Copies of this chain bind each other. A is one copy, B any other.
């Protein structure tokens, strides 16, 4: 070829891994591929679930860090808004047109507090969590300084042992403080049981969730005694959302991974001991065989720099004859006992853990019927500060 193909000012290869209209076989690997139809099926499955269970859906944008996907979730996926974890993510989402954002995390740094308090000036509702009385003063001061309003949830530790105030009286004291603070609105409770999501058996997840629900209920009772009402009682993830939905207490679900799924969530089992199966794998790392000198192993171009292996190695999609065994920074080793692969062959890998895998890529290449449909930028990639 004599000129390098371009797309909206981007050069294929140098800037972007693919062009719309390209067949999947021509995509520059390794890169992230989103299966268009599986993605929109997942969007629809959770939309219908939430509608039938009369809970709001506020999906977690920390999974995808993408304005395009957040807007799809709101416009066609039934979401009332999104969650994110960082002020920098909220800034990107708000600039991209998302109008209702919960930072489901604490914000303590002075400049970050100021940045957070500026977001409502973009016309975006901003909600944040607090677990400490000093933080209430900090948030109030930042809101007043900017002439804006910040809605605040009391985060309670309902079993994960990470952030969060003690449920019950301590949480209610904090809520009362927020309710009195100028520039702030007390908006409810953040009650995410993160350590339950990836437990493999339904019984383990249910036991942890039953305990979490009791903590949320006792806190709500304590708040009612003080005349404090919760607009939002939020939590739930892809591993437990049916339990929160059925609790009669939670009114917003915060699932993130449902939109993509990953190899670890594929191992989470339903009450009958089978993979949950409500959602399809919609996210893949597309990789190419780049060396095959040994007959029984192929070397592929996807290593540590295109994924996070904290939850295990990726799984080769749609094939049982080959297995991704291990990786170094830029290489993956694939067992190929029958020498079925040849150099240039492409494999779709289901990432072990979707959230931190998305965070090392700049683009989602959206593929439909074997052709590139469009590209979505991972617009808040790297926005961790």
Contact = CB atoms under 8 A, between A and B. Distances in A.
A107 B161 CA distance: 47
A91 interface: yes
A232 interface: no
Give the number of times this chain occurs in the complex, counting copies.
2
Nearest to A62: B329
Contacts of A360: 359-360, 382
| Highest count of chain B CB atoms <10 Å: which of A163, A306, A343, A356 | A356
A190 to B, nearest CB: 12
Contact of A30 (B306, B353, B362, B385): B385
Interface string A1-18: 100100000001110010
Contacts of A115: 4, 13-14
Contacts of A29: 109, 385
Interface in A269-300: 288, 290-294, 297, 299
Interface size class of A (residues with CB under 8 A): 35 or more
Contacts of A86: 330
20 contacts: A1-B111, A4-B114, A13-B112, A14-B88, A29-B385, A30-B384, A62-B329, A85-B329, A106-B290, A106-B291, A109-B288, A131-B291, A162-B291, A163-B299, A301-B385, A304-B353, A304-B355, A304-B356, A330-B384, A360-B382
Interface of A: 1, 4, 12-14, 17, 26, 28-31, 62, 85-88, 91, 105-109, 111-112, 114-115, 118, 131-132, 134-135, 157, 161-166, 194, 288, 290-294, 297, 299, 301-302, 304-306, 308-310, 328-331, 333, 343-344, 353, 355-356, 359-362, 381-382, 384-385
